[in-house]
Chain A
């Protein structure tokens, strides 16, 4: 426990970017869930290099860190929120679904919407028990709704997300045909960015390959 307190104290005393990165790395290396609140705090320091280290540290802590992330999401710090979405997208935990959907549909930053779309594509929902069907439905509906996003990179991320969710084999036939419909739309002339069309075509090719 002493080690954790030492690492936190060192982080609090860091007075340069370099010292902050070293201290964050040290704290992250403990892989101790009790370090999570401090790592989350680092996300709000407006220091991308340190935030990247903290993001990796939080992801390494695994799904148990999700509740702490969610309870700190409301902070009025835009940067911190963007980093937190990245952690949630990587963890793929169903408890992050509401935050990811909100980010995909409402965030002003294209890179945050892009990450959220990717995260929704990676979300693995257990449907055997039946209680995964409702979140799965919300997840796909959000991806479908965001297909008109003004940024090509978000639409690109949506094609990958839809491909992965169709591949998971858990979609009802109705959701599946809606998802295919959007991929076909993004592969057609209705989509004006070449690389998005290419990616949607690749998804369709892979999904229909024997």
Chain B
């Protein structure tokens, strides 16, 4: 589920040059935050965009966990929450811009103590299909559902690792060695449906074995709308064409079904399917407009 399009203060159109200038300055944090988002949204190709965004990733002092608003200190470091929010926007932007040059910097962020930073770094590395991230991701997940997949404290919504993002990244990167499959598989039985769905999604991408699709399809009937939506987005992201009927029949709003079907049309799998398999998908989309 990577469809979180946070648009900070949408509505003020700026030029690319203005966005670069806003990210280069270090006085006004809101302007830096907006500029980082804008460059990603517009998929900027400006030569300074990637270096400036990478700098923003590192402007958090030693990537400490959140300790309060005064966490950042020392020259050149931005204050706590602001710096983190800017770094998060920068990571998302680098993923959207397919900035392969930023992979080493994102790998540093994947080692941050902060959960949310690790999460966005994993998402961006997945977007970049960064094979170099596989060892770090599998290391973090190797402790399994009772380690990485355990709530960080009793009753906490956060797990020890941002498993959903990390599993999805492994699926996107596409390295399907037996060792990686073995690390992902236990998460397909995780007690949380969204983690389960993310694991099945990755396994479906890596193995193209329909039984993983069936596990996700079961979640399309889940009583919670959030779970149904997550499973729907997962099937769409994989582009699993045999799921067309199940997606069409899910009880969610048409807008979301359209996004899932767009995924089917654009990344059609299994890979032996031909472009003509897309016509039923397009016809299903027409009926949802």
Question: Would A114 and B278 count as touching, CB distance under 8 A?
Answer: no
Cross-interface CB contact of B286 among A110, A111, A115, A160, cutoff 8 Å: A160
Asked if A114 contacts B289 (CB within 8 A), the reply is: yes
Contacts of A152 in B (CB 8 A): 262
> Is B206 interfacial (CB-CB < 8 Å)?
no
Q: Say yes or no: is A147 at the interface (Cβ < 8 Å to chain B).
A: no
**Is there a chain B Cβ closer than 8 Å to A72's Cβ?**
no
Number of B residues near A (Cβ < 8 Å) is 12
- Tell me the nearest residue of chain B to A160, going by C-beta: B286
Is B279 part of the binding interface, using a Cβ–Cβ cutoff of 8 Å? yes
Q: Which residues of B contact A81 (CB under 8 A)?
A: none
C-alpha gap A114/B266 in the complex (Å): 20
230-289 of chain B: CB within 8 A of chain A? 254-255, 258, 262, 265-266, 278-279, 282, 285-286, 289
Contact between A198 and B258, CB atoms less than 8 A apart: no
Which chain A residue has the least Cβ–Cβ distance from B279? A202
Inter-chain contact A157/B262, CB cutoff 8 Å: no
Is the Cβ of B282 less than 8 Å from the Cβ of A198?
Answer: yes
With A and B bound together, what is the CA distance between A90 and B262 in angstroms? Answer: 23
Cβ-based interface call for A14 (8 A) = no
A-B pair count, CB < 8 Å, reads: 31
Q: Given A111-B255, A195-B266, verify A156-B279 contact (CB < 8 Å).
A: no
Q: In residues 99-133 of chain A, which contact B (Cβ within 8 Å)?
A: 110-111, 114-115, 117-118
Residue of B nearest to A48 (CB): B253
Query: Chain A: interface secondary structure?
Result: helix
CA distance A156 to B259 in the complex (A): 12
B54 CB, min distance to chain A CBs, angstroms:
25
Least CB separation from B263: chain A residue: A195
Question: Quick check: A195 and B289 within 8 Å, CB to CB?
Answer: no
Give Cα A152–Cα B262 distance, bound, in whole angstroms.
10
Question: Which B residues are in CB contact (< 8 Å) with A198?
Answer: 265, 278, 282
Let me know if B285 and A156 touch, CB within 8 A. yes
A195 and B279 contacting across the interface, CB-CB below 8 Å: no
CB A122 to nearest CB in B, in angstroms, measures 10
Interface size on A, residues (CB 8 A): 16
Q: Given A111-B254, A111-B255, A194-B266, are A202 and B289 neighbors across the interface (CB < 8 Å)?
A: no
Q: Measured between alpha carbons, how far is A172 from B208 in the docked complex, in Å?
A: 50
Most chain B CB inside 10 Å of its own CB: which residue of A118, A152, A153, A157: A153
Any B CB within 8 A of the CB of A199: yes
Asked if A195 and B262 sit within 8 Å, CB to CB, the answer is yes
Residue of A nearest to B43 (CB): A192
Which of B254, B258, B289 gathers most chain A CB within 10 Å? Answer: B289
Q: Which of A184-210 contact B (CB under 8 A)?
A: 194-195, 198-199, 202
**Known contacts A118-B289, A202-B279; is A153 also within 8 Å of B266 by CB?**
no
B residues sitting closer than 8 Å to A (CB atoms) are 254-255, 258, 262, 265-266, 278-279, 282, 285-286, 289
Q: Which 4 A-B pairs have the closest CB atoms?
A: A118-B289, A194-B266, A195-B265, A195-B262
Q: Return 28 A-B CB contacts under 8 Å, by A number.
A: A110-B255, A111-B254, A111-B255, A114-B289, A115-B289, A117-B289, A152-B262, A153-B255, A153-B258, A153-B289, A156-B258, A156-B285, A156-B289, A160-B286, A160-B289, A194-B265, A194-B266, A195-B262, A195-B265, A195-B266, A195-B282, A195-B285, A198-B265, A198-B278, A198-B282, A199-B282, A199-B285, A202-B282
